[in-house]
Amino acid sequence: MFGSHLSIAGGMVNALLEAEALGLETVQVFTKNQQQWKAPPLKPADQEAWLGKLRELGWEDRTVSHASYLINLASPNDELWAKSIDLMVVELERCEALSIPFLVHHPGAFTSSDAEAGLGRIAAAYKELFKRTKGFRVVSCLEDTVGSGSNLGRTFEELADLRGRIIEATGEAGRVGFCLDTCHMHAGGYDLSTKAGGDAALADFDRLCGVSNVRVMHLNDSVAGAGSRKDRHAHIGEGTIGQGTAHATLAGTGFASVCQHPAFREIPKIMETPKGQTEAGTAFDTLNLRRLRKLGA
C-alpha cells in the first residue's frame, strides 16, 4: 500500500482527506509541530474527525506518524536525553489516541560519546518509554539513516544490535520494529541503483534483522550517490537510484526489489519526495505514485 507524508495544517483530518483525493492507500503525518518540544493537547474535535474518517476509509491498521527530529535518545547529555524521552512519550500517547499503529523515529546521535554508549542510552530510554506507556499498541519503528556525523542506524548490523538491546531491556519484541528508507539505504552504502543490488541488500537485511520486522517503508530516490552519506530526497526515478528511468521503467532498480518483495506488500510504503506540482497542475505525489504502481506492487 502506497502513501505519502502529508500536512495536518488546518486540522488532523485534512491529511486523510488529501490522501484520499490523491488516490493513496495510507498516510504519514506529524501529529504535532515537529520543531517544538511542547505540544498542546489534542483537540477533541480534531481527534473525533480523524478517527471518524479513519474508520470510513478502513485505515485503522495502516497510518504512520513520524516523531519529532528534536528527539535524541542516544544523547550523552542527561537533560536532552530526559527531554527526548518525555517527548517520545507524548508522541506515543498521541499515536495511541489517534489509532496510529506505527511511530517512526531516527535512533539518535551519540555526539560527544561513542557508538557503544549511544546504543546503550537508546536501550535505557526504551526501558523508561515502555514503562510509561504500558499496554500501548503503537509499534516504534527504528529508521535507518545515512550515518552522517555521529548518527546511529546506518548499517543493518547496528540496527539489529540496537533492536536486540531494546528487547533485552524491555522484554517487548512486539513493540519495536524497523522503518527502511530507500534513500537512506542507498546513500548509506547499500547501492540500490540495480535490482541485483536491491535484492542483495534486502537479503542481507533479512539475515541480520528479519524482513518480517519491517513495519514501514519510506520510498524516496536519492539526489546523492551510493555511499555519499548525504540525505537528500529526489522524485522516484529522478535520482541516483532510478537514474533517470522515471519515464521508462524502474524494474531494473532497487525500487522493484522493495515494492515486489512479498514481505512488504501489505505494509505502509510512504513517499517523502518533494512537494508541489507540474506546470500542468499535476501533483508530484501523483506522478511518483504512478511510477511506483507501474512496478505492479
Note the pLDDT of residue 297: 56
| Alpha carbons 168 and 3: distance in angstroms, whole number | 33
pLDDT per residue over 225-242, tens digit each? 999 999 999 999 999 999
CATH 3.40.50.300 fits domain 2-293? no
Average pLDDT of the chain is 97
Note the pLDDT of residue 83: 98
**Res. 254: pLDDT tops 80:** yes
**Res. 274: pLDDT tops 70:** yes
Note the pLDDT of residue 7: 98
pLDDT per residue over 62-100, tens digit each? 999 999 999 999 999 999 999 999 999 999 999 999 999
pTM for the predicted model, two decimal places: 0.97
Enumerate the β-bridge partners of residue 27. 4
Count of CB atoms within 10 A of residue 53's CB? 18
List Cβ<8 Å contacts ≥24 apart for 128-133.
128/85, 129/85, 129/88, 129/89, 129/92, 130/170, 130/172, 130/175, 132/89, 133/89, 133/92, 133/93, 133/96
Each domain of the chain, given as residue ranges in start order, spans 2-293
CB neighbour list of residue 264: distance below 8 Å, 6 or more residues apart: 211, 214, 217, 258
What letter represents residue 185's amino acid?
M
The least confident of 40-44, 237-241, 293-297 is 293-297
In which band, very low, low, confident or very high, does the pLDDT at 248 lie, cut at 50, 70 and 90?
Answer: low
In which band, very low, low, confident or very high, does the pLDDT at 249 lie, cut at 50, 70 and 90?
Answer: confident
Q: Are the beta carbons of 144 and 177 closer than 8 angstroms?
A: no
What letter represents residue 291's amino acid?
R
- Region 211-232: mean pLDDT is 98
Q: Are the beta carbons of 125 and 80 closer than 8 angstroms?
A: no
